[in-house]
Amino acid sequence: MRIDILTVVPALLESPLNCSIVKRARDKRVVEIFVHDIHDYGKGSYRQIDDYSFGGDSGMVLMIEPVFNMIGDLKNERDYDEIIYMSPDGLQFTQSEANRLSTKENIIILCGHFKGIDHRIREHLITREISIGDYVISGGELAAAVIIDSVVRIIPGAISDETSALTDSFQDGLLAPPVYTRPAEFNGWQVPDVLLSGNHKKIAEWQEEQAIARTKLLRPEMLKEE
C-alpha cells in the first residue's frame, strides 16, 4: 500500500509515522507513506496557500490551486483508489472502514487546515470524507495519523502476530474481553481460573461471554437487537 498525505504542517506527522507499528511496517515496506507540504505548491515568494473566504466569514480558507495541482501531479504518476479528506462532518470512522481501506493499493489523504478548504475541492476531487469524531481540532493531521495507524496495523505483515489484530475490539462488533499476564496473583488480585486451565474451548467461551458483557455495559448501542 502507498499513502500520500497532503498537509500544511508536515512536522505534526513526523512522530506518529516514525514510531511503533507504523515505522516497522514502513521499514519492512509493507506500506509506503509520503508526506507532501502543500506550501510547495503555494503562490509567490511567500508560498501562499490560503485566502479570505468569499462572503465575509471569519477565518482563512485553503485555496483551490495548490491542492488541485498537487493532486493532479500525484494522479499523473499512478491511479488512486481513494482521495480522502479529513473533515469533522465526514463519515464516522469505524473498524469496518479501516478494514476496507486496508485492502486498497494507493490512497491520498488531504488534511484540512484553517477554516477549511475551498468547497470545490470536496465537490470535484475528493472521493471520501472521514471524521474521527464529533469535535473540531486544529487540522486534519492528527486525525490522518489515527486513520493511518488503524489501517496499517491490519495490513498483512505489519505486525508479527497477525491474529492479534483480528481479535481487537470492534473486529467482531464487540469490545475485546479482559486480558491478563504474569503473575497470576498480585496484591491479592487473582487472574480468572479459566484462563489458567489450559482448556481452550472453555477459554474461548469465557472470552465471548466477557466480550458481550463488556459491550452491553460500556457500549450497549453496538449490540443489535435480534
Q: What is the CATH number of the domain that holds 189?
A: 1.10.1270.20
In a domain, 157, yes or no: no
Please compute the mean of the pLDDT values over residues 117-144 and round it to a whole number. Answer: 96
Statement to judge: residues 110 and 184 lie in one domain: no
Q: What is the pTM of this model?
A: 0.88
Statement to judge: residues 72 and 122 lie in one domain: yes
Domain boundary, last residue among 91, 121, 152 = 152
Flag whether pLDDT at 93 surpasses 50: yes
In a domain, 99, yes or no: yes
pLDDT reported for residue 188? 96
Statement to judge: residues 64 and 87 lie in one domain: yes
Query: Parallel, antiparallel, or unpaired: how do β-strands 189-190 and 185-186 relate?
Result: antiparallel
Statement to judge: residues 145 and 178 lie in one domain: no
Domain boundary, last residue among 121, 152, 183 = 152
Comparing 21 with 161, the larger pLDDT belongs to: 21
Flag whether pLDDT at 161 surpasses 80: no
pLDDT reported for residue 224? 73
Statement to judge: residues 126 and 172 lie in one domain: no
SS3 content of the chain, % helix, strand, coil (to 5): 40, 20, 40
Comparing 58 with 34, the larger pLDDT belongs to: 34
CATH number at residue 95: 3.40.1280.10
Statement to judge: residues 171 and 148 lie in one domain: no
In a domain, 95, yes or no: yes
Flag whether pLDDT at 225 surpasses 80: no
Statement to judge: residues 42 and 78 lie in one domain: yes
pLDDT reported for residue 167? 64
C-alpha cell read off for 143 = 486525525
Flag whether pLDDT at 162 surpasses 70: no
Statement to judge: residues 141 and 203 lie in one domain: no
DSSP state of 125: T
- Rg of the chain, C-alpha, whole Å: 22
Q: Which domain holds residue 212?
A: 167-222
Statement to judge: residues 55 and 8 lie in one domain: yes
**Which pLDDT band holds residue 226 (cuts at 50, 70, 90)?**
very low
Flag whether pLDDT at 45 surpasses 80: yes
Query: Parallel, antiparallel, or unpaired: how do β-strands 60-62 and 50-52 relate?
Result: antiparallel
Closest CA to 104 of 121, 126, 79, 123: 79
What whole-number distance in Å separates Cα of residue 197 and Cα of residue 183?
15
pLDDT reported for residue 170? 73
Please compute the mean of the pLDDT values over residues 188-216 and round it to a whole number. Answer: 96
Pick from 112-116, 214-218, 221-225: least confident = 221-225
What whole-number distance in Å separates Cα of residue 130 and Cα of residue 60?
22
The identity of residue 203, as a single letter, is: I
Mean pLDDT of the chain: 93
Provide the β-strand partners of residue 62: 50, 117
